[in-house]
Structure formats: C-alpha cells, structure tokens
Amino acid sequence: MTTLEDARTPAPARLRKRFAERFGNAGARPLAFASAPGRVELAGNHTDHQGGRTISAAIDRRIYALAAPNGTDEMRVSMESFGDIALSCGDLDTRESERGTSLALVRGMAAAFVRAGGRLSGFDAATCSDIPAGAGVSSSAAFEMLVGVLLRVLCDPTGAVPCDPVALALEGAQVEQAYFGKPCGVQDQLASAQGGAAAFDFAGDLPRVEPIAFDWEACGYALCLVDSRCDHSVHADEYAAVPADMRAVARRFGCERLEDVPYPVFLARLADVRAHLGDRAALRALHYFEETRRVAAQQRALESGDIEGFLEGVRQSGASSAQFLQNVSPRGDGLGARQPAMMVLALCAHLLDGRGAYRIHGGGFGGSALAFVPAEDIDAFCESMDALLGYDACLRAKVDGRGAYAERMA
C-alpha cells in the first residue's frame, strides 16, 4: 500500500480537490490510486494493424485517478477538462450515440472486465492528466489502461481477472474499435500498459513483447513532440482509410492483413493491385512492407547501442510516411490550403539542418511530429519552433519505465 503523497505523480492536490468537489469527503471509504502513461511511437508507422512490427515507449506524461467504492451500482467518473459521466454497472451495451466519447471507453472497459470474469460494483473516480489530447500521444489508450487497472484494484481484490499488459491492451484495443469507433491496432494500449521502450511483433495470435534496454538519457538526443494543432481525432475517416486500403490489398491475395502476404508475391502482382485498387492502396502496401522490415533493423540498432543507425531508419520512415503512406496532411478542404503537420515537418528540417531525425508521429493526419534533437540543441530548437509557429508547440518527453498501475491507498 502507498499514500497519495508517496505516489509518483505531480497531481495529488488536483486529484484530492476534484474528488472532494464532486463526491465529498471519502471518509472511511478505501481509496485507490491509478496512473497510466502516454506513449511515443519510436518506429513503425501504421504497421501494427497489419500484423507487423513497431517500437514504442511509454513517456513521462501520464493520466491519474483517485477512486473509492460508493456502495451503489453506478460508476461515476469526473474528468478534468472533460466533465462528468455516470453509468450503471448493468448497462454495458455499445451505443452509437456515444462514439468518440470518454463514456464509451468507460462503458467498454467495464464490459471487457465482466467478460474477463470480473464482477462490477459502483465507484467514484476523479481524474486529471498531463497528456495532451489530440496530439498523437495516445491519450485515449492511456485512459483505457487507467480504467482497466482501476477496475481491477476496486472490483477484483483477489486478482482473479488477468491484468498482464497484453491482456489489458487487447481489451483496450477491442473497446476502442467496438465502443469508441476507431479502427486501431493494439500498439498504443500495449505501450501504455507495458511501460519502458519495447519492440512489439503483431504477427501471431498474441503480440510478442521484447523490452529494449537502451539508455535514452545517455544517447545524446532528446525526444521532442511538436504539436501541429491539427487534432487528428476529427479526421477519423482519413485515418480509417489507411487500414482499409491495406486490408483491401491483402484481400486481393486471399488474406486479411498484409503480414500474411509474401512481399515478392505482392510485387509480382503489383500491376493487378494498381488496376483494381488504384495507386494509393498500392503505395500504402509498399510502405507497410518496407516499414516493418525497417523496424527490425532499428531494433537491432538499438540493441547494439547504434543510435545513428536507428535514426537513419527514422529518416527513411518519415520519407515513406509522407510520400507513400500519405498520412501527414488531411484532405478536408480538398485544396491542401492548410497543412499544419507538413509545416511542422518542414520547420524540423530547417532547424535540425541534417542533424538528428524527425517524422510524422502516430496515426498522422495532423497530430504531432516526433523529433530526435541533439541534446545540446534542445532548448534552442524548442524556442525557435515555438516562435516560428506562434504558440507553445514543443513537448519534451522522456521514456518512462513504469506502465499502467493501480494501488490501494493506506
């Protein structure tokens, strides 16, 4: 057990205040504390949903919760910046009207908990977060993992319901697809649940996780996410078209995902793919095949301490994502008049001037760019980037070794 002051969070006062304002003094009720990190996708862009490889890491931006049983059959959650929600423990079916909402995620994670053998009971929870929403660092996946571990510590004191990172992540991905309405893979949830940096291989029935012991603090580069202020969550249709295009290509070969299509066979029938599905789908498939092979090389580079070899892969991935995957700028206006994410990438190229590396981050279509900046230049880089964009765009991040967790409070 721990106390709230002992918990590794900068947010105890905010949590206490919000809980007391919404739910009153906890009194004798047993309290639980939970936390889950955001994540950065270090390598592998749009590969996880096709059975490929990625490298991801949890970061030192987290979401936090303080919760207590309330003796009812109602789950009540008060979220800083996102308002309050409430739902019955017995009302767990999907609702079309809730797509894209936090309520959908809580309902879905509660349903997943019950399917895994858990028994729900009512609780009150207050949350706060320092993970920026819509910036591509998986705030929704972190919220799912937070709810998942919180349900287990509140409603499953004997530990009967599986809580390993893979089981928890699979629950979250299924919920995001079925309840939230986003056709995602499981990379984001797995990175948040696992913690640290790890390579993920999605070729099998269950993801294979290989932690990577690399000293990010001593590698000479700082991680920086640059927010384009183009919320990628409002371009869900364009995001969904990426796995749809890839899946359509796979189905030309009688498969459901590209990982099961031999690359040489794809190349031999490229003319057929282009004729039936068009060039965009073919280009996105080409990106996938090269990207998942590139991730394997980047993993080997990190494991051997070769940061420059890893960064060369980042540069190649960035070029492929922009040119072939085509997930940098949404086409909402049909004219390309606004391309904030591409502008961020252009400014990264200008400021880094051949040093470090950068690429679009995560799902793309806005969101953030990920830059690996020489450590001695990070202050100047952030100051110049913020000035050029006219707002506070830079989010410095460090790899966080701890994944999602929940604890009972003393």
pTM: 0.89
Residue 288: how many other CB atoms lie within 10 Å: 33
Read off the pLDDT of each residue in 201-222 and give the average, rounded to a whole number: 94
Read off the pLDDT of each residue in 179-200 and give the average, rounded to a whole number: 91
Confidence tier at 331 by pLDDT (50, 70, 90): confident
Assigned fold of 12-212+404-408: Ribosomal Protein S5; domain 2 (3.30.230)
Per DSSP, which regions of 243-367 are E strands?
Answer: 357-360
Confidence tier at 234 by pLDDT (50, 70, 90): low
Q: What is the pLDDT of residue 134?
A: 65
Q: What is the pLDDT of residue 182?
A: 79
Q: What is the pLDDT of residue 8?
A: 46
Tens of pLDDT, residue by residue over 88-146, are 999 999 999 999 899 999 999 999 999 999 999 999 999 999 887 766 778 889 999 99
Please say if the pLDDT value at position 7 is more than 50. no
Q: Tell me the pLDDT of the chain averaged across its residues.
A: 91
Read off the pLDDT of each residue in 19-48 and give the average, rounded to a whole number: 91
Residues 147, 180: Cα–Cα separation, whole Å: 14
Tens of pLDDT, residue by residue over 183-192, are 777 899 999 9
Tens of pLDDT, residue by residue over 243-290, are 999 999 999 999 999 999 999 999 999 999 999 999 999 999 999 999
For the chain, helix (H) and strand (E) counts, in that order, are 12, 12
Report DSSP state, residue 31: P
The residue type of 151 is L
Confidence tier at 2 by pLDDT (50, 70, 90): very low
Q: What is the pLDDT of residue 377?
A: 98
How close are the terminal C-alpha atoms of the chain, in Å?
Answer: 6
The residue type of 233 is S
Please say if the pLDDT value at position 1 is more than 50. no
Please say if the pLDDT value at position 68 is more than 60. yes
Tens of pLDDT, residue by residue over 293-317, are 999 999 999 999 999 999 999 999 9
Residue 370 phi/psi, 5-degree rounding, is -105, 125
Side-chain half-sphere CA neighbours of 159 within 13 A: 5
DSSP codes joined into one string, 105-134: HHHHHHHHHHHTT-----EEEEEEE-SPTT
Residue 319 phi/psi, 5-degree rounding, is -65, -40
Residues 250, 270: Cα–Cα separation, whole Å: 12
Please say if the pLDDT value at position 42 is more than 50. yes
Q: Domain locations in the chain?
A: 12-212+404-408
Percent of the chain with pLDDT over 70: 94
Pick the more confident residue, 139 or 149.
Answer: 149
What residues contact 202, with CB distance under 8 A and at least 6 apart?
A: 47, 48, 49, 50, 51, 52, 53, 54, 185, 186, 187, 208, 259
Cβ burial, residue 292 (10 Å; 0-12/13-18/19+): buried
Read off the pLDDT of each residue in 70-99 and give the average, rounded to a whole number: 94
Q: What is the pLDDT of residue 316?
A: 98
